[in-house]
Amino acid sequence: MIRLRAALIVMTMILSLFGARLFQLQGVDPNDYAAAAAATGLVTLDLPATRGQILDRNGTPLAESVDGLMIVADPSRTKDHAEEIAKILADRLHLDYFDVLATLQKATTKSGNPNHFAYIARRIPSTLATSVVAEIDKPKDAQGRPLYAGIDTRRDPLRNYPAGDVAANLLGFMGANGDLSAGGGGLEQSFNKMLAGKDGTETYEVGGNNRIPLGENTEVKPVNGQNLHLTIDRDVQWYAQRAVRTAVQHSGADSGAAIAMDTQTGEILALADYPTFDANNPGASKKDDLGARSLSDVYEPGSVEKTLTTSALINLGRVSPRTKIALPANQIGGAGLTVADRVIHDYFNHPKIHLTLAGVIALSSNIGTALAATKFKPGELPTYLHDFGLGQRSNIGIPGETAGLVPSGNWSDLTRSEVAFGQGISVNALQMVTAVNAIANGGQLVTPSLIEGRATTGAGAAVGTAMTTRRQVITPETARKETSMMEMVTTQGAGTAPEAKVPGYRTAGKTGTAQEVGATCKCYDGSLDVSFAGFAPADKPRFTVYVVIKNPRSAGAGGGVTAGPPFREILSYLLQKYAVPPTETPPAALPIEW
């Protein structure tokens, strides 16, 4: 009985406590507890993925993600000192003061609950973000606590291009405000899905001003992006860009491009453009400088085309390097070779002369090439040009590549003559170096590659060295004969470009000078595009290089004088860097005249 009474007393006391608590909640301070309940909410935070690196052939980063921070706010805590905090953030981070102020003062959500989370700035360098927060935390209250509460940081990687403008024309840049989920051009755009990965999220519960340790907490981890490996050699790319820049500036040209290719594999070691831009700050450059002109710009190739014309004729058995061609007298503005209603001229005045086909190439005679081209049957030359890759995109993975143009239909005698020496046809620089490389590679065209292995573009195209194809365009014997004629071009006293010869190496090459079609009149406006293509060692080719300079204004500008020196510099650098020994065999010695 005593035990029963004791139990009843204990139960009565417990019920009394519950009753008192209920009375307190419902009657004494309901507003305080309602406010505490309302202060509980969920915050969702992005967990940024680390964007994949873009690496050169040696694993050197050309584009990488580095430590950065986002600055975030708890507006329910910043509202009381929003003006002071906004001023610091706007001044240090170059933000709009009024936008920041509005964010810091937005203390409640649309539903009326406290607003515990807002982004202030994304992708800020860690040192800068840390110093900004430290400045905000510096003022203290009477108890020594930070006076301005509610500003914090979270991890937020930044994109960095360690070499600045090196390969920027290929790499591209990031989207607005450095958004790592969207490439703004080049490889960053083409392979965005592969590089970007997928951001994660974290959702957690807050109460009052703090995270609830045992509250709701869910996390979806980010999936980091994959690395992209290029065939580019950073050092060769840097050197090629400087060589092109020098040539453009010294000749007063509009722009220039240079491409260096591994002869046997088709791998691109350098694809340089000038002007270009700093990928870390693309907004500081002109829009026209943000792409790869070597892929997007089309032009008439000029006399470099003659190597394809004569290769086709030799392959068909119609001519040889020693074929004799009689050239009529040429006078600029006067005598020359009449074809239909036009007169074809050589760039130099001469009386009636007798050249071999090797002499036609060595002296770059338009008249001699047009006469040799009369040996083509209808459709043969356009078929060969197509086999050499002209008029087709290479699809190496860079957006904006043009296809160029090979005239279609039945060619007139005039069209055949003009195309034979490089007018009336349009190409981009990559197409031209690929075609010339087929001659260097024993007549076998190997499709160019910029990506190592295999990668898929955003458009679904598989590209890379694993996708390389090969086709025999001309026979090895034809390629050897054409190479011997091209070697005469760089021979002192015989050809037009001895300045393009690499000292100590047998060097095969060809100059190109073509009239440029003006953007306004859509006609030849007097400006020129000059170029030089070639390879070394001539009897055992290792590298193929092509340089094109658009609209040089210096006196005497031409393929040999203007494009020959940067060609020689780039090829020489490659041969030395990769320790290619001279072959030490006798140079080609073909007759020029007969």
Look at residue 46 in the predicted model and tell me its pLDDT: 80
* Structure token digits, residue 54: 């873009």
What span, in angstroms and rounded, lies between the C-alpha atoms of 5 and 119?
63
* Structure token digits, residue 185: 């051009």
What span, in angstroms and rounded, lies between the C-alpha atoms of 583 and 306?
27
What span, in angstroms and rounded, lies between the C-alpha atoms of 436 and 455?
26
Sign of CA dihedral 25, 26, 32, 38: positive
Report the chain's terminal Cα–Cα distance, integer Å: 140
Are residues 124 and 131 in contact, defined by beta-carbon separation less than 8 angstroms? Answer: no
In DSSP notation, 127-169 reads: HHHHHHHHHHH-SB-TTSSBSS--EEEEE--EEE-TTTTTTHH
Look at residue 207 in the predicted model and tell me its pLDDT: 66
Sign of CA dihedral 127, 129, 133, 136: positive
Q: How many CA atoms lie within 13 A of 68 on its CB side?
A: 22
Domains in the chain: boundaries: 42-229, 234-280+288-577
What span, in angstroms and rounded, lies between the C-alpha atoms of 563 and 244?
9
Alpha-carbon 255 to chain mean position: 16
* Structure token digits, residue 268: 């691109």
Specify which residues 46 forms β-bridges with: 201
Helix (H) or strand (E) holding 262: strand 255-262
* Structure token digits, residue 349: 């005045």
What span, in angstroms and rounded, lies between the C-alpha atoms of 499 and 568?
8
In DSSP notation, 424-462 reads: S-BB-HHHHHHHHHHHHTTTEEE--BSBSS-EE-TTS-E
What span, in angstroms and rounded, lies between the C-alpha atoms of 140 and 274?
54
Residue 336 sits at the vertex; the CA angle it makes with 332 and 340, to the nearest 5 degrees, is 125
* Structure token digits, residue 58: 């040696």
Residue 451 sits at the vertex; the CA angle it makes with 449 and 454, to the nearest 5 degrees, is 105
Q: Return the number of other C-beta atoms located less than 10 Å from residue 98's C-beta.
A: 10
In CATH, what number does 42-229 get?
3.90.1310.10
Q: Return the number of other C-beta atoms located less than 10 Å from residue 341's C-beta.
A: 6
Q: Which of 524, 516, 525, 553 is nearest to 254 (CA)?
A: 553
Sign of CA dihedral 188, 193, 194, 197: positive
Which segments of the chain have a pLDDT < 50?
Answer: 25, 27-39
What span, in angstroms and rounded, lies between the C-alpha atoms of 512 and 436?
12
The topology under which CATH files domain 234-280+288-577 is Beta-lactamase (3.40.710)
In DSSP notation, 174-237 reads: B-GGG-TTSB-SHHHHHTHHHHH-B-EEEEEEEETTEE-TTS-EEEE--BPPPPEEBS--HHHH
Look at residue 88 in the predicted model and tell me its pLDDT: 95
